[in-house]
Chain A
Amino acid sequence: MIVAEQKPIEEIKELIGPHKRVLLLGCGTCVTVCLAGGERQVATLAPILRMSTKAEILENTIERQCDAEFFDEIKEQAESCDAILSMACGVGVQMVARVFPDKPVYPALNTVFCGTNDGAGQWSENCLACGDCKLGIFGGVCPVTRCSKSLLNGPCGGSVDGMCEVDPENTECGWQLIYDRLKKLGKLDILAENAQPYDWSKTHSGGPRRLSREDIAQL
């Protein structure tokens, strides 16, 4: 899922500063699951903003802010406000801007990564959405994401006791994980092959990406 966290309250207050009537809009998808911008977080943030700012704060949450069709139910309410404070990820915030071209929109969250839930209050990054998945080669562990240098040919000298030198307390060396997995699977021979330079044009390096699927478009 897309993992996000709430911005510092002072930053949020500064963003909505000049507005008198603000719609605080939650999203029912990823940010609900990662407990950052769902209905409950809207219910928690709204009273804090009411107490600490002069603005009138309206609350609502829609199922998905990344899809225009879910905005119909809140159109009237949104039009009655000076601004929208979105508790969605960056994708949702941009859709709000698109759906309401005349309304200022502000993000209440920082979108941090695509990742997994690793236990209560713990998440970690697992996918950079690089557009050319090599997990089948690397034992189901992504070197592009989980190696701090995105190395494709094994660990640098900073791999010690399974941890990455960039953050030895918390971050595992992605290459140790790849090595361990492939060893278990009896496929270490894969790691003796030289991986060729990556095609970064399929990442954001190639410009903002689009996906068109004729099979869906024709339905």
Chain B
Amino acid sequence: MKQTTEYKSASNLEKTLTAGKFAVTAELGPPKSADLEHIKNKAKLLKGHVDAVNITDNQTAIVRVSSIAVGKLVLDMGLEPIMQMTCRDRNRLAMQSDILGAYLLGIRNILCLSGDHTCFGNHPTARGVYDLDSIQLVEMVRNMRDVKVFQNGEEIRNGKKAEIKEPKMFIGAAANPFADPFEYRVIRLEKKINAGVDFIQTQCIYDMDRFASWMEQVRNRGLHEKCKILAGVTPLKSVGMAKYMRDKVAGVVVPDYYIDRLAKAEDAAAEGIKICVEQIRRLREIEGVAGVHIMAIEWEQKVAEIVEKAQLKKR
């Protein structure tokens, strides 16, 4: 009893990070159809290899099975979900209602995101909501948990005499060390921390020097002590994918030397895994990096191999 009250959410991810263990998270993208087998197969590939798994929320603004539903499905399979929630598709009423519902279903981690703009997705004529931004979402979830109030200040209770029953989430947000203005990126991270973030997952890192320079700014402000930072990596499957990430995904920097390595390799996919493992080893050495977030995009079957080769297998 005493131990559980010390935690904010008592999620597995929170316990791992609080214990100072190097955390491993991965990503599970729900399917574009009501395909239960697809979800089960992906979950099986990840189970036992990661501390928690991000369930994306209509990623790249394409309609998919909801992150809450898939979160509950993987939870029942013994995998801890991190429910992603974007500001693109919901206003503050829908967000709070979904947070309450997700909590009742057993979901204990949330990642608060702005969300990819609708123009990139499969419903480009849709209206983007953006009632709140990601920082305001973080603060709302924190206040729901710690102050036990809704965004409007009302207590979270079902009536004047009813007991307060607040959703206790472990709160995450994203950070992109590679977008501009570079000097503002750390200030914005600090804003997220002030809003109440517990952990950060970064955009996928290829340019180690720029990431190291960002982490130095983070440490100079002592931010690594105020939240847990998980460094994002995405294994490259091919030269084509590397170029796509470099040219088409805003805020991702892929240095040429990686592209050269993939081009020269006999087996580009194997080389991509090798690069990813090297990156994780380097990231582990950087002070203030509390874990790694492996975003193997539609390549979940490689997560176990990456975890093993990076000597992170302990789960």
Contacts and interface: CB of A to CB of B under 8 A. Distances in A.
Interface of A: 148-162, 165-166, 168, 173, 175-176, 179-180, 188, 191-198, 200
Contacts of B92: 197
Nearest to B174: A157
Interface residues of B, number: 35
Contacts of A197: 92, 131-132, 136, 140, 151
A157 B182 CA distance: 11
B187 A194 contact: no
Interface stretch (B13-21, B190-198, B257-265, B296-304): B190-198
B131 A155 contact: no
Contacts of B180: 155, 159-162, 173, 176
Given A150-B130, A159-B251, A194-B194, 13 more contacts: A149-B87, A149-B117, A149-B130, A153-B188, A153-B191, A155-B184, A157-B203, A157-B250, A158-B179, A192-B190, A194-B191, A197-B131, A197-B151
B159 interface: no
Contacts of B181: 155, 159, 175-176, 179-180
A166 B117 contact: yes
Contact of B191 (A154, A160, A165): A154
Contacts of A150: 130, 133
A49 to B, nearest CB: 30
Nearest to B179: A157
Contacts of A154: 135, 184, 187-188, 191
B36 to A, nearest CB: 32
B45 interface: no
A194 B193 CA distance: 10
B250 A160 contact: yes
A154 to B, nearest CB: 4
A170 to B, nearest CB: 13
Nearest to A151: B133
A151 B130 contact: yes
The binding surface of chain A is classed by DSSP as loop
Contacts of A191: 184, 187
Contacts of A159: 179-181, 250-251
A179 B187 CA distance: 12
B187 A153 contact: no
B190 A165 contact: no
Residue of A149, A161, A191, A198 with most chain B CB atoms under a 10 A cut-off: A149
Interface string B147-168: 0000100000000000000000
A188 B184 CA distance: 9
B238 interface: no
A166 B119 contact: yes
B176 interface: yes
A90 B308 CA distance: 63
Contacts of B114: 149, 151, 156
Nearest to B128: A149
A156 to B, nearest CB: 5
B89 interface: no
B139 interface: yes
Contacts of B203: 157
Contacts of B190: 192
A159 B120 CA distance: 15
Contacts of B115: 149
Given A152-B136, A166-B119, A196-B136, A158 B250 contact: yes
A198 to B, nearest CB: 8
Contacts of B176: 156-157
Contacts of A160: 179-180, 250-251
Contacts of B134: 151, 153, 156
A194 B184 contact: no
Given A149-B133, A154-B184, A157-B250, A194 B139 contact: yes
Contacts of B188: 153-155
A153 to B, nearest CB: 4
25 contacts: A149-B88, A150-B133, A151-B114, A151-B134, A153-B134, A153-B188, A154-B135, A156-B114, A157-B178, A157-B203, A159-B251, A160-B251, A161-B180, A166-B117, A173-B180, A175-B181, A176-B181, A179-B181, A179-B184, A192-B190, A192-B191, A197-B92, A197-B131, A197-B132, A197-B136
